[in-house]
């Protein structure tokens, strides 16, 4: 019961955060080497996925409190999900203050979200009310965490420049997504990662053809892996 209430409160706080803070990328004064529109970052329209993520997580938490407040399966997912959402509530504010702390925070959010997804039942029990929304959230964070890592490390002159980090971010996100998708039948995880990769491909287009090609290749691989996982579970 307590975890069900905390999940709802965390989901509501997370969904309400954009009404208090906004974030459109790290400001030029937040990094020694300003990262203005880095190639690892998806096109602006791709971030519209947050609308369905916020709404679905809140609906899931409400349904969980109503119908599954004492369910052990739901509670197993709730513990890491609460941790992820709790960090996510102030994340927009953190991102306006420090690129480093924002990156560490979103990596932690992604890790807890993936842990929550991997604890979800693999059958159709509560699929659309629990596993699918958590998967969509975890998938987007998988990609978003590497976008943040790429921008921050390029901004501090660590490793390659922003162009090189775009390839690292795409490859790392794809590898993690492949591993996670191999352990869950929920294709909404791959959908979210693929959406981010599509945003990267469209944004870079013919201007940076190698980045675009890498993003599309990664998108294809994740789509195939998601289809295989879903088919095996059917």
For the chain, the structural domain boundaries read: 2-20+39-233
pLDDT attached to residue 13: 98
Q: Could you state, in chain order, the average pLDDT of each consecutive group of 10 residues for the chain (234 residues)?
A: 96 97 86 93 97 98 94 94 98 96 98 97 86 98 98 97 98 98 96 98 98 98 92 70
- 170 near 10, Cβ under 8 Å? no
| Distance of alpha carbon 85 from alpha carbon 15, whole angstroms | 9
Q: Is 0.75 topped by the overall pTM?
A: yes
Cα 39 from chain centroid (whole Å): 18
Residue 171 is given by DSSP the state H
Whose tokens are 């691989």? That residue is: 221
What's the pLDDT score for residue 40? 97
pLDDT of residue 85: 98
Query: 175 Cβ partners below 8 Å, 6+ apart?
Result: none
The CB-side HSE value for 209 (13 A sphere, CA atoms) comes to: 1
How many CA within 13 A on the CB side of residue 152?
Answer: 17
**Residue 3 near residue 75 (C-beta atoms within 8 A):** yes
> CB–CB of 178/225 below 8 Å?
yes
Residue 11 is predicted with a pLDDT of 98
Quick check: 8 and 62 in contact, CB under 8 A? yes
Which tokens belong to 80?
């890491």
């Amino acid at each position: 019961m307590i975890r069900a209430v905390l999940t709802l409160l965390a989901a509501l706080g997370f969904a309400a955060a954009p009404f208090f803070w906004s974030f459109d990328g790290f400001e030029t004064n937040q990094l020694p080497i300003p990262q203005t529109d880095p190639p690892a970052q998806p096109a602006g329209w791709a971030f519209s996925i947050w609308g369905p993520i916020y709404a679905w997580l809140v609906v899931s938490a409400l349904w969980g409190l109503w119908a599954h407040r004492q369910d052990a399966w739901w509670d197993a997912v709730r513990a890491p999900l609460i941790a992820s959402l709790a960090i996510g509530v102030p994340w927009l504010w953190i991102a306006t203050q420090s690129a480093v702390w924002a990156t560490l925070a979103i990596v932690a959010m992604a890790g807890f979200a993936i842990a929550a997804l991997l604890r979800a039942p693999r059958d159709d029990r509560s699929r659309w009310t629990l596993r699918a929304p958590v998967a969509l959230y975890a998938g987007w964070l998988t990609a978003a965490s590497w976008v943040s890592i790429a921008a921050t490390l390029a901004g501090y002159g660590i490793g390659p420049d922003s162009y090189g980090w775009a390839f690292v971010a795409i490859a790392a996100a794809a590898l993690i997504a492949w591993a996670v998708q191999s352990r869950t039948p929920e294709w909404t995880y791959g959908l979210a990662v693929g959406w981010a990769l599509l945003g990267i491909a469209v944004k870079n287009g013919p201007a940076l053809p190698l980045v675009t090609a890498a993003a599309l290749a990664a998108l294809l691989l994740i789509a195939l892996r998601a289809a295989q996982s879903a088919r095996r579970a059917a």
